[in-house]
Amino acid sequence: MALEGLTLGVQFGTWYQPTLAANPSGAGTVAFSAPSSDGFYRAGAQNLTVQANPGYKFTGFSGGVSGTSTAIQLGGPWAITANFTALPRVTFASNLPGTETASLIVGGTSYPFPSTVALDTGAVSIAAPASVVSALSPAIRFTFQRWSDGITTPARNYTVAADATLTAMYATEVLVSVTANPPSLGGVTGGGWFMPGANVTLQATPSAGAVFTGFTGDLATTQTPASFTAGTKGANIVANFRATAADLYAFQSGAATDQASGRVMPISLSNTGGSTAGAARIDSIGSIVVVSGSGTVTAQGGPVNYGDVAAGASISRDIVFNWPETARRIRITVNISADGGTLQRTSILNLIR
C-alpha cells in the first residue's frame, strides 16, 4: 500500500557509557537512579543513588564528577567514583561482672554492654542505667558512679573524634532489709542499700506498751542500737517486739456527789501496760483513814467489776461511801485484780469530801 503525505521525525542525541565505582571497595554502593539495560545513558541531567555501608559515610565524588550532589550533568563516558570514609568506632564497656547484663542508649538506639558502635564525628547522646539489679539476687545491685573520662552523670553527651573506648563504672551495693514483728508494736530504722564492708546501725523502737525482744534473721542480738558490717549478699533482719503485761492503778476520775445511797465517788482503773487486763475489778476498799476531820467512813461492800480494760484505756465506775460531812479528807487503800487474779495491784488514794 502506498503511503502518501506521511512525514517521519527522527531525533538524535548523544549517549555515553560511564563507569561507576566505590572507594574503598565494600564501603558502599553507587548506581544510576534509573538503570539502563545496556549501560548507556543520555548526556545531560542524570541522578545517582549513593548508599554507605554500616561503619562508613559518603564524602563525595571524584573522577568525572566532583562534590556531593547526586544530581549530575553527564558529559562523557566518565569514570565516576563515590568516595567513602570509615566512621570512628567507639566501644562502650562497663565494669559489671560477667554474670550481669545491661544496655545503654546511644543516639536513641539501645545497645548491650559491651558494644562497638560506628559513629559520625561530633556530639552524640548516651545514657547508661543508673542502677542494675543483679541477676544473682535482688538484694544485690550495681549503682552508676562515673564514666571512664570522669563524667559522673549516667546520661550525657559524648564527643566522637576518633576510635575510643568509654567505660561505665559501677559500684556494688547490697540490701539490708529490716522489718518489725509485729509492726503494730514497734518500728526499726537503719536498713537500706550499702556497699559491702560498710558499717550498718539498726535502731529498734517499741511502741507504748511494748518492749523490744531482739533482732533475728541475719543478725542475732538483743541490743539496740546494733551495728554490724554489711556483707556481700545482703541481709534480712527482723526486729521483734512483744506487748508488756497489763498493769492497773486506780484514780479519782471526777467530782463526788451526794445521792440517796450515800456519797458517790467516780473511781477509774487505768491500764498502763501493753496487754488487755481481763475481767478487771476492785476487790475491796481496804483501810479507810480519816486524815482531816472526824467520824467513820465506810465503802460499799463486795467487788466492783470493770470488765476488760484495753492497753492504754481507762474505765470509770461509781463507788458509794457512807461519808459524814465531819470527815473532810480520807485516805483509802484500793485492792485491784484482773486476769483471774494473776494481776494483783494496790492503789492508795487521798480523797476530799
Q: What is the DSSP string of 50-104?
A: EEEPTTEEEEEEEES--BS-SEEEE-SS-EEEEEEEEPPEEEEEE---TT---EE
The reply to whether the predicted model has a pTM over 0.85 is no
Q: What is the grid cell recorded at 8?
A: 517521519
Sign of the Cα pseudo-torsion (220, 224, 229, 231, in order): positive
229-to-52, 58, 161, 310 alpha-carbon distances in Å: 57, 59, 45, 41
Given a contact cutoff of 8 angstroms between Cβ atoms, the answer to whether 50 and 59 are in contact is no
pLDDT at 5: 63
**Kind of pairing between the strands at 199-206 and 186-189:** antiparallel
* pLDDT tens for each residue of 101-141: 999 999 999 999 999 999 999 999 999 999 999 999 999 99
Q: Do 81 and 64 form a contact (C-beta atoms < 8 A)?
A: no
Distance CA 243, CA 307 (A): 20
User: What are the two backbone dihedrals, phi and then psi, of residue 183, each rounded to the nearest 5 degrees?
Assistant: -65, -20
pLDDT in tens, 163-201: 999 999 999 999 999 999 999 999 999 999 999 999 999
* Percentage above 90 pLDDT, the chain: 93
Q: What is the 3-state secondary structure (H, E, C) of 155-220?
A: EEEEEECCCEEEEEEEEEEEEEEEEEECHHHEEEECCEEECCCCEEEEEEEECCCEEEEEEEECCC
pLDDT of residue 1: 52
The grid cell for 104 is 545503654
**pLDDT of the residue at 209:** 87
Cβ proximity of 46 and 17 under 8 Å: no
Backbone angles phi, psi at 20, to 5 degrees: -120, 145
The torsion angles phi and psi of 154, rounded to 5 degrees, stand at: -65, -30
Helix (H, G, I), strand (E, B) or coil at 47: strand
Please state, in angstroms and rounded to a whole number, the distance separating the CA atoms of residues 155 and 175: 25
How does residue 302 score in pLDDT terms, banded at 50, 70 and 90?
A: confident
- From residue 3, give the alpha-carbon distance in Å to each of 6, 7, 11: 6, 10, 22
> What is the rounded distance in angstroms from the CA atom of residue 94 to the CA atom of residue 113?
6
Question: Are the CB atoms for 128 and 169 separated by under 8 Å?
Answer: no
235 CB-side CA count, 13 A = 30
pLDDT for res 30: 98
Q: Residue 77: CB partners within 8 Å, gap ≥ 6?
A: 16, 17, 18, 19
Average pLDDT, the chain: 95
pLDDT confidence of residue 107? 97
At which residue does the C-alpha cell 470493770 appear? 306
Instruction: Kindly tell me the sign of the dihedral angle through the C-alpha atoms of 150, 155, 156, 160.
Output: positive
Q: Is 176 exposed, middle or buried (0-12, 13-18, 19+ CB in 10 A)?
A: buried
∠ CA 40-43-46, rounded to 5°:
85
**pLDDT at residue number 208:** 86
Asked whether 214 and 231 are in contact (CB, 8 A), the reply is no
- What's the average model confidence in pLDDT over 317-331? 96
> Percent of the chain at pLDDT above 70?
97
